[in-house]
Structure 1
Amino acid sequence: MNKNFLAKLFLSPSVIVTLVCVYGYIFFTAFLSFTASKSIPNFTFVGFANYERLMKLDLWWLSVSNLAIFGSLFILCALVLGLLLAILIDQKIRAESLFRSLFLYPLALSLIVTGTAWKWLLDPGVGIENTIRTLGFESFNFAWIKSNDLAIYCVVIAAVWQTTGFVMAMFLAGLRGVDSEQINAAKIDGAPTWQIYWRIIIPQLGPVFISAFVVMAHMAIKSYDLVIALTNGGPGRSTWLPSVFMYQFTYARDEMGVGAASSVLMLLATAIIIIPYLIRELRQAKND
């Protein structure tokens, strides 16, 4: 029997499941965004009415502004801290494998566990504020999670803690792939270590920066579990992200058409980030 036929036969179930459960539901969601669907699908075509209503909702723009704050800080902090940790480990420190494992450990936890743990830590009654006050610093105040203006930064803290180790691993792999001859030549010329990293090594990490940015941006756009576990979208709606908005309007408010429209916009935002990256990778693969 033809080996190619056997391979296609064994792969066909997963291909069919992917086509139906991923791409099929993507197209179905896009279709619902143009219908009068409420609590259940309604196939009455309404054109762009759901998108027009979505653009007029203050809660949608609140979610988008929160995503801008959360996404920019999350990506920036994760990239900077991940690079610094990678450079630290790249110094051939003792117990390198132990430190790598410690920094990567948060990635092994689910976002629900991370959100719950940080919810306890940031709760003024039982967390960091309470602990510091019991040590005698009774004026210490750290109740960001209870503040409408500061709660979104608590989500940033938890997300950065969760993913920095992953970014570190990406940068560490990039650092270990830099041509050692250039580094040795710079050392012979008397260049200090910080200049070697700044002028020689880091400029060669462009592909790693791009890859890490794409992964982080994708995670920021679809973030839901962490927000629900940490703040449940509160206080009030101060930590709503587009993913929370989509869930609330689809299931809690029986506005399936509007919820589908918001999910389509989230998909487009993700595609704008990922598709250029994929095109770039395919071109590089062809050139290689």
Structure 2
Amino acid sequence: MSTAESSAAGTGKTSRPPARLLKNLTAKIAAIPMMLTALVVFVGCTVWTVFYSFTSSGLLPSLDFVGFDQYDRLWGTRRWLVSINNLAIYGACMLVFSMVIGFTLAALLDRKIRFEGAFRTILLYPFALSFIVTGLVWQWILNPDLGVQHVVRSMGWESFNFDPLYNADIVIYGIVIAALWQGTGLIMVIMLAGLRGIDEDIWKAARVDGIPVWKTYVFVIVPMMRPVFVTALVMIASGIVKVYDLVVAQTSGGPGIASEVPAKYVYDRMFGSQNLGQGFAASTMMLLMVAIILIPWAYLEFGGKKRG
């Protein structure tokens, strides 16, 4: 008799599957189709993309393997390097300004001001618009002959210049302005929900102790809202990586290639130049960039908790 059988016989109990595996069994069975779809569509397509990035696929996939030639060409292409630089600038600006502006607006609304509902609706409304509409609107606003520059000059300030979409050195910041206008409202709502979940007794204790409001926010409220900030960061990061339609609507990658982004580079290579191999290589590099950021974060976020 084996050790396990002896133990079971000694205790008078038969081995049974852990109760944890049987918990919510119906829900787990119902989730199987979704899990299979995710494995086939996401994991399968990802593996397929990486596999064909090592080939010389043109209009159609082919099995003509060329090793790392597609990657060598990719990192030797100025357009790709410009797109990576633009994504870094766009991502840094979006992460910082979205969080700061969103939290500031949420903190102001949390003071229970009058007409809070109206302000919240107005600030959240841009998020209901598509990136195409947002891009076109801000293309007009930033047009030197129609928008802000024209209005200010008509008021008498003839030397005023504000044409970021027509200046290759700052065009990416014009795109950032439009993205902030659309997306900050959502971050504000997420932050406001987190602030409304803070116990009122904490604020009362801070007032009794004479702690300034800004110190209460920085040293008490913000650390308590860590999960809210993580959620907001994940949402912002997902939008940064896939930015495409806003750029196409505002600048189409111009002037020249000054506002090129990786997603647009992939699309142009796959469907414009009919070079699937190069497009797959660029897609794989985008996936690698995301993995480099997410894997250490996931390890620190969940690995530490598991060890604890």
Under a length normalisation based on structure 2, what TM-score does the superposition of the two structures give?
Answer: 0.84
SS at match of 1:119: helix
Q: How does 1:276-287 map to 2 (within 5 A)?
A: 276-277=296-297
In structure 2, the CA distance between the partners of 1:284 and 1:171, relative to structure 1 (3 Å rule), is farther
Match of 2:270 in 1: 250
SS at match of 1:240: coil
Is it true that 1:38 corresponds to 2:71 in the alignment? Answer: no
Contact 1:39–1:254 (CA<8 Å) still a contact in 2?
yes
Deviation at 1:224, TM superposition (A): 0.5
Deviation at 1:279, TM superposition (A): 5.5
Match of 2:98 in 1: 78
In structure 2, the CA distance between the partners of 1:54 and 1:185, relative to structure 1 (3 Å rule), is same
SS at match of 2:184: helix
- Aligned mates of 2:303, 2:207 — CA distance in 1: 35
Match of 2:285 in 1: 265
Once the two structures are overlaid, the 10-residue window that deviates more, 77-86 or 196-205, is: 196-205
Q: How does 1:215-254 map to 2 (within 5 A)?
A: 215-254=235-274
Deviation at 1:5, TM superposition (A): 7.3
Is it true that 1:169 corresponds to 2:193 in the alignment? Answer: no
**Per-residue CA distance 1:31-74 (angstroms, 9 max, x = gap):** 21011112221221222221122122222111111111111011
SS at match of 1:85: helix
Is it true that 1:124 corresponds to 2:136 in the alignment? Answer: no
Contact 1:39–1:255 (CA<8 Å) still a contact in 2?
yes
Question: Structure 2: which amino acid aligns with 1:41?
Answer: P
For the aligned residue pairs, the C-alpha RMSD in angstroms reads: 2.5
Under a length normalisation based on structure 1, what TM-score does the superposition of the two structures give?
Answer: 0.89
**Residue among 52, 62, 68 paired with 2:82:** 62
Deviation at 1:11, TM superposition (A): 5.6
- Aligned mates of 1:198, 1:16 — CA distance in 2: 44
Deviation at 1:199, TM superposition (A): 2.3
In structure 2, the CA distance between the partners of 1:203 and 1:285, relative to structure 1 (3 Å rule), is closer
- Aligned mates of 1:68, 1:221 — CA distance in 2: 10
**Residue among 108, 121, 124 paired with 1:104:** 124
Deviation at 1:208, TM superposition (A): 2.4
Question: Structure 1: which amino acid aligns with 2:173?
Answer: Y
Is it true that 1:139 corresponds to 2:159 in the alignment? Answer: yes
In structure 2, the CA distance between the partners of 1:7 and 1:214, relative to structure 1 (3 Å rule), is closer
- Aligned mates of 1:126, 1:24 — CA distance in 2: 48
Match of 1:48 in 2: 68
Is it true that 1:94 corresponds to 2:114 in the alignment? Answer: yes
Unaligned runs of 5+ in 1: none
In structure 2, the CA distance between the partners of 1:275 and 1:107, relative to structure 1 (3 Å rule), is farther
Q: How does 1:131-210 map to 2 (within 5 A)?
A: 131-210=151-230
Identity among equivalent positions (%) equals 42
Deviation at 1:13, TM superposition (A): 5.6
Question: Structure 1: which amino acid aligns with 2:190?
Answer: M
- Aligned mates of 1:24, 1:61 — CA distance in 2: 28
**Per-residue CA distance 1:233-255 (angstroms, 9 max, x = gap):** 00000001111111122222232
SS at match of 1:182: helix
Structure label with greater radius of gyration: 2
Once the two structures are overlaid, the 10-residue window that deviates more, 67-76 or 170-179, is: 170-179
Question: Structure 2: which amino acid aligns with 1:47?
Answer: G
Deviation at 1:286, TM superposition (A): 7.2
Contact 1:32–1:260 (CA<8 Å) still a contact in 2?
yes
SS at match of 2:225: helix
Unaligned runs of 5+ in 2: 1-23
Match of 1:214 in 2: 234
Once the two structures are overlaid, the 10-residue window that deviates more, 123-132 or 206-215, is: 206-215
Question: Structure 2: which amino acid aligns with 1:259?
Answer: G
Aligned residues: 285
- Aligned mates of 2:160, 2:109 — CA distance in 1: 34
- Aligned mates of 2:156, 2:70 — CA distance in 1: 55
